[in-house]
Protein backbone atom coordinates (compact mmCIF):
# COMPACT_ATOMS: atom_id res chain seq x y z
CA UNK A 1 0.00 0.00 0.00
CA UNK A 2 1.39 3.39 -0.99
CA UNK A 3 1.87 5.80 1.84
CA UNK A 4 -0.62 8.52 0.98
CA UNK A 5 -2.98 10.78 2.85
CA UNK A 6 -6.55 10.39 1.63
CA UNK A 7 -8.74 13.41 1.14
CA UNK A 8 -11.63 13.81 3.52
CA UNK A 9 -14.06 13.24 0.65
CA UNK A 10 -12.37 9.96 -0.33
CA UNK A 11 -12.19 8.73 3.26
CA UNK A 12 -15.90 9.30 3.84
CA UNK A 13 -16.86 7.83 0.45
CA UNK A 14 -14.95 4.65 1.27
CA UNK A 15 -16.42 4.47 4.78
CA UNK A 16 -19.91 4.89 3.35
CA UNK A 17 -19.63 2.11 0.79
CA UNK A 18 -19.55 -0.96 3.04
CA UNK A 19 -23.08 -1.28 1.71
CA UNK A 20 -24.02 -0.31 -1.85
CA UNK A 21 -25.08 3.33 -2.19
CA UNK A 22 -25.69 5.75 -5.02
CA UNK A 23 -24.15 9.21 -5.17
CA UNK A 24 -26.79 11.03 -3.18
CA UNK A 25 -26.73 8.27 -0.56
CA UNK A 26 -22.98 8.83 -0.10
CA UNK A 27 -23.52 12.58 0.39
CA UNK A 28 -26.18 11.97 3.02
CA UNK A 29 -24.14 9.32 4.78
CA UNK A 30 -20.99 11.46 4.97
CA UNK A 31 -23.01 14.32 6.43
CA UNK A 32 -24.63 12.01 8.98
CA UNK A 33 -21.34 10.33 10.00
CA UNK A 34 -19.66 13.71 10.56
CA UNK A 35 -22.61 15.27 12.38
CA UNK A 36 -23.23 17.66 9.53
CA UNK A 37 -19.65 18.86 9.19
CA UNK A 38 -18.71 17.15 5.90
CA UNK A 39 -20.95 18.23 3.05
CA UNK A 40 -19.65 16.71 -0.16
CA UNK A 41 -20.65 18.78 -3.15
CA UNK A 42 -21.86 16.76 -6.14
CA UNK A 43 -19.09 17.83 -8.53
CA UNK A 44 -16.36 16.96 -6.05
CA UNK A 45 -18.05 13.65 -5.27
CA UNK A 46 -18.37 12.77 -8.96
CA UNK A 47 -14.66 13.38 -9.58
CA UNK A 48 -13.65 11.35 -6.53
CA UNK A 49 -15.95 8.44 -7.44
CA UNK A 50 -14.47 8.25 -10.94
CA UNK A 51 -10.92 8.26 -9.60
CA UNK A 52 -11.77 5.56 -7.06
CA UNK A 53 -13.37 3.42 -9.78
CA UNK A 54 -10.20 3.79 -11.87
CA UNK A 55 -8.04 2.79 -8.90
CA UNK A 56 -10.29 -0.18 -8.20
CA UNK A 57 -11.02 0.91 -4.62
CA UNK A 58 -14.74 0.92 -5.33
CA UNK A 59 -16.78 -0.79 -8.02
CA UNK A 60 -20.23 -0.64 -9.57
CA UNK A 61 -22.81 -2.90 -8.01
CA UNK A 62 -23.44 -5.51 -10.69
CA UNK A 63 -26.93 -6.26 -11.95
CA UNK A 64 -29.04 -3.17 -12.16
CA UNK A 65 -27.57 -1.29 -15.08
CA UNK A 66 -29.85 0.60 -17.47
CA UNK A 67 -31.27 3.94 -16.46
CA UNK A 68 -31.50 3.25 -12.75
CA UNK A 69 -29.21 5.24 -10.45
CA UNK A 70 -25.72 3.74 -10.30
CA UNK A 71 -24.71 2.18 -7.03
CA UNK A 72 -21.17 1.68 -5.80
CA UNK A 73 -19.54 -0.57 -3.22
CA UNK A 74 -16.05 -0.77 -1.66
CA UNK A 75 -13.54 -3.41 -2.84
CA UNK A 76 -10.82 -5.31 -0.95
CA UNK A 77 -8.14 -2.81 -2.00
CA UNK A 78 -10.47 0.00 -0.92
CA UNK A 79 -10.74 -1.56 2.53
CA UNK A 80 -6.93 -1.84 2.73
CA UNK A 81 -6.70 1.87 1.91
CA UNK A 82 -9.12 2.67 4.73
CA UNK A 83 -7.12 0.63 7.26
CA UNK A 84 -3.87 2.27 6.14
CA UNK A 85 -5.51 5.67 6.51
CA UNK A 86 -6.80 4.88 9.99
CA UNK A 87 -3.25 3.91 11.04
CA UNK A 88 -1.97 7.20 9.64
CA UNK A 89 -4.68 9.20 11.37
CA UNK A 90 -4.02 7.37 14.65
CA UNK A 91 -0.38 8.38 14.46
CA UNK A 92 -1.39 12.00 13.86
CA UNK A 93 -3.81 12.03 16.77
CA UNK A 94 -1.40 10.25 19.15
CA UNK A 95 1.46 12.58 18.32
CA UNK A 96 -0.83 15.55 18.42
CA UNK A 97 -2.17 14.70 21.84
CA UNK A 98 1.19 13.65 23.26
CA UNK A 99 2.96 16.81 22.17
CA UNK A 100 0.21 19.30 22.93
CA UNK A 101 -0.57 17.76 26.33
CA UNK A 102 1.36 20.49 28.11
CA UNK A 103 0.24 23.39 25.93
CA UNK A 104 -1.96 26.14 27.21
CA UNK A 105 -5.36 26.01 25.57
Partner 1 sequence: MRKVIKKLFWAWEYEKEEKWLNEMAAKGLALVDYSLCRYSFEPCEPGEYKFKIQFLEHRTSHPESEQYIRFMEETGAEQVASYLNWVYFRKKAAEGDFEIFSDIESKINHLTLIKKVLLPIGYLNLGVSVMNFVNLAFNFPGALWVPFINLACFALMIFGVHKIQKKINILKKEHAIRE
| Stretch of 6-14, 58-66, 77-85, 91-99 lying at the interface with partner 1 (CB under 8 A) | 6-14
Note whether 99 binds partner 1 by CB under 8 A: no
Between 28 and 100, CB nearer to partner 1: 28
Note whether 80 binds partner 1 by CB under 8 A: no
**Residue 12 and residue 31: Cα distance in Å, rounded?**
9
Window 31-70: residues binding partner 1 (CB under 8 A): 39-47, 69
3-class secondary-structure state, position 103: coil
How far is residue 50 from each of residues 30, 37, 65, 74, measured CA to CA in Å?
17, 23, 17, 13
The four Cα atoms 32, 36, 37, 41 give a dihedral, to 10 degrees, of: 80
# chain residues binding partner 1, by CB under 8 A: 17
Where along the sequence are the contacts to partner 1 (CB under 8 A)? 7-9, 22-24, 27, 39-47, 69
Amino acid sequence: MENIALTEAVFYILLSLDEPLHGYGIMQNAEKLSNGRVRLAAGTLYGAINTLLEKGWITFVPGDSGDRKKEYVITESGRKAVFAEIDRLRELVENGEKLTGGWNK
